[in-house]
Amino acid sequence: MKSIRTKLWLGMMVLVGIVILLLWFFQIVFLEKFYTSFEVRGVLAGAEDITADIGDLGDIRLFTGSEAVLSDIDRFAYSRGVSVNIADSDGTILYQNEAENGVTQHGMLWNAYSEAAGEALAGRTAQIEAVHPRFGNKFMILALPIAADDQIAGFMMITLPLVSIEETVNILEKQLIIITVILLIVSVIISYRLSKAFTGKILAISQVAGRYTEGDYSARVMDKKEKHDARAGGNGESETAGAEGDGSSDPGADGDEIERLAEQMNLMGDKLARNEILQRELIANVSHELRTPLTLIRGYAETLRDVTGGDPGKREKQLDIIIAESERLGIIVEDILNLSQLQAGAVLFHEEPFPLKPMLEGILSRYEPDEGSPALKITGTDSIPDNLLGDSRRIEQVIFNLVNNAMRHAGPDGQVEIAAERKKARVRISVKDNGSGIAPEDLEHIFERYYKGKWENGKKSTGTGLGLAIVKSILDMHGMPYGVESTLGKGTVFWFELKTEGGEM
């Protein structure tokens, strides 16, 4: 199967071949026909003007006394290099002109002249090509009728020598042979270089895409400058597939479509590589998060069975731990299932009006005041209307995930605030904590699935990294704005907006 480079090169060569073929046809094969047709049309146009002027005199014999008409005839014959005869309807010659180049009406062509005169006297323009029987010269004999007072009063006979263009054709043929050879050589070189430059980046993109399908996300498409820098730095075993052509330039805003495609391919590689790392971290995190409650459940269950089964106090305490860890285990599994369903589009969206205050109070009731836990409070709900639009079950999940996230990072003595604020036809809901804040490099990735930034003392946060990804998927489903603002050492605010029933977007 031919490569795209070969197909492009062959396509260019076919185009060059067609151009050369057209040149040969028009310059060699059709040259004489074009020349003859062009000359005849020019002579006929001038002759028709003269016959019209003669006819306007009324009597065909009167033109011999008109200096203007005679001057026009002489000028016409001289400029066109033709001989001109004018005769009346009886065939009597009234005017005869011998061209400056010596062209005359040859006696050996009288048969052709007679035929042309007959056509003209019949009211038709005659156009007869004749060959001199002795010398082989070609002539075009033209005869035009002269009408006066609506009758054919005579005719104008013109002998147009058809200058042989064989020598011109021979010269052109030799020139075209040279031009064809040069054009073919140049076109082969240029088309090869163009096809190489054009397809080099495409082939590199194809190679990188192939490595992506094999799970190798380290491959990148390098531009010419990067490739040169890599070689100069001695990076002979780069993980990047370089473009083969020399015609590629730096990708970016000023690059062409292929260069922008290469840049997008590199960005996709970055995201795929990061996503793979995050997935590995997710597996490790989920494994750890699942192992901890499972270990506790198993340990306390064995203790309950073997040691403390008869002690009601210890039994109740250990059963509470088993239940709490089971709930924790269920939350982890539910997060994974929720995110999978949301991203697969398997979750139905039910938009309906709902009150905000009871929902927030219900969330607040889940967090009983406890020593060593952050304080949680709600503000601003009294001025919020009871007709917010959205899927109330999913919005509650969003707020719960944001509160959980804030409680985890606010610290034992921290504070978490759920605030509601009216903004014209919308309501902004925010969850604020006074924790350690989020690093600027983590902010742009904070809503990505599996992502967990460094929150405090360079340590990864706990959890699976799915909570905020679930928040993002639900809010995207609502089509409403959301965001995060954070300052290191001061805290973080997650916010989103909902429209009210009847309010504009």
Residue 490 is assigned to a structural domain of this protein = yes
> Do 197 and 246 touch, CB atoms closer than 8 A?
yes
**The two three-digit tokens of residue 115, written as one number:** 């035929």
Residue 54 is assigned to a structural domain of this protein = yes
Alpha helices in 102-223 (DSSP H): 110-121, 166-213
The predicted pLDDT at position 503 comes to 60
Number of structural domains the chain divides into = 2
Mean pLDDT of all residues in 429-454? 80
Sign for the CA dihedral angle at 59, 65, 70, 71 comes to negative
Domain extent, residue 67, equals 4-168
Residue of 350, 421, 416 lying closest to 389 (CA atoms): 350
Residue 406 is assigned to a structural domain of this protein = yes
Q: How many other CB atoms are there within 10 angstroms of residue 407's CB atom?
A: 19
Q: What are phi and psi of 8, to 5 degrees?
A: -65, -45
The domain boundary, picked from 122, 149, 168, lies at 168
* Helix, strand, coil percent values for the chain (each to nearest 5): 55, 20, 25
The predicted pLDDT at position 346 comes to 63
- pLDDT tens per residue, range 162-204: 765 556 667 777 888 888 888 888 888 888 887 777 777 777 8
Distance between CA 7 and CA 163 in Å, rounded? 46
Residue 459 is assigned to a structural domain of this protein = yes
Least confident among 101-110, 202-211, 408-417: 101-110
Distance between CA 403 and CA 432 in Å, rounded? 8
CATH number at residue 156: 3.30.450.20
Which is more confidently placed, 317 or 233?
317
Distance between CA 230 and CA 240 in Å, rounded? 10
Angle between helices 392-410 and 467-478 (to 10 degrees): 150
The predicted pLDDT at position 171 comes to 76
The predicted pLDDT at position 102 comes to 42
**The two three-digit tokens of residue 150, written as one number:** 């609506």
Residue 122 is assigned to a structural domain of this protein = yes
The predicted pLDDT at position 458 comes to 46
- Proportion of the chain above pLDDT 70, given as a percent: 77
> Do 363 and 324 touch, CB atoms closer than 8 A?
no
How would residue 482 be classed by pLDDT, with cut points 50, 70 and 90? very high
Q: Say which amino acid occupies 155.
A: F
Mean pLDDT of all residues in 43-67? 91
Least confident among 35-39, 303-307, 498-502: 303-307
Residue 266 is assigned to a structural domain of this protein = no
The predicted pLDDT at position 258 comes to 75
Residue 247 is assigned to a structural domain of this protein = no
- pLDDT tens per residue, range 322-368: 787 787 777 777 777 776 777 666 677 788 999 999 999 888 887 76
Least confident among 117-131, 197-211, 399-413, 478-492: 197-211
- pLDDT tens per residue, range 270-321: 878 877 776 776 666 666 566 767 777 777 777 777 676 567 777 777 777 7
Arithmetic mean of pLDDT over the chain: 78
Distance between CA 362 and CA 392 in Å, rounded? 13
Q: Using DSSP, state whether 444 is helix, strand or coil.
A: coil
The partner residues of 234 in beta bridges, in order of sequence, read: none
- pLDDT tens per residue, range 62-94: 998 899 999 999 999 988 888 999 999 988 999
**The two three-digit tokens of residue 239, written as one number:** 């993980």
How would residue 250 be classed by pLDDT, with cut points 50, 70 and 90? very low
Q: Say which amino acid occupies 486.
A: S
**Strongest mean pLDDT among 11-20, 303-312, 448-457:** 11-20
The domain boundary, picked from 111, 145, 168, lies at 168
CATH number at residue 451: 3.30.565.10
- Ramachandran class of 124: left when φ > 0, alpha when ψ lies in -120 to 50, beta otherwise: beta
Give one DSSP letter per residue of 449-464, joined into a string: TT---EEETTEEPSS-
> Do 391 and 351 touch, CB atoms closer than 8 A?
yes
The predicted pLDDT at position 242 comes to 43
Mean pLDDT of all residues in 473-496? 91
Q: How many other CB atoms are there within 10 angstroms of residue 484's CB atom?
A: 20
Distance between CA 36 and CA 113 in Å, rounded? 19
Contacts of 420 by beta carbon, 8 Å cutoff, 6+ apart: 356, 360, 378, 379, 380, 381, 383, 384, 427, 428, 429, 430
**Strongest mean pLDDT among 138-142, 203-207, 258-262:** 138-142
Asked whether residue 253 carries a pLDDT value surpassing 80, the answer given is no
Residue 313 is assigned to a structural domain of this protein = no
Q: How many other CB atoms are there within 10 angstroms of residue 89's CB atom?
A: 16
Q: Using DSSP, state whether 248 is helix, strand or coil.
A: coil
Give one DSSP letter per residue of 75-101, joined into a string: HHHHHHT-EEEEEETT--EEEEE--TT
Residue of 3, 51, 450 lying closest to 206 (CA atoms): 3
Asked whether residue 485 carries a pLDDT value surpassing 90, the answer given is yes
- pLDDT tens per residue, range 364-395: 887 766 666 788 899 988 888 888 999 998 89
Distance between CA 382 and CA 290 in Å, rounded? 41
The domain boundary, picked from 168, 196, 212, lies at 168
Asked whether residue 244 carries a pLDDT value surpassing 50, the answer given is no
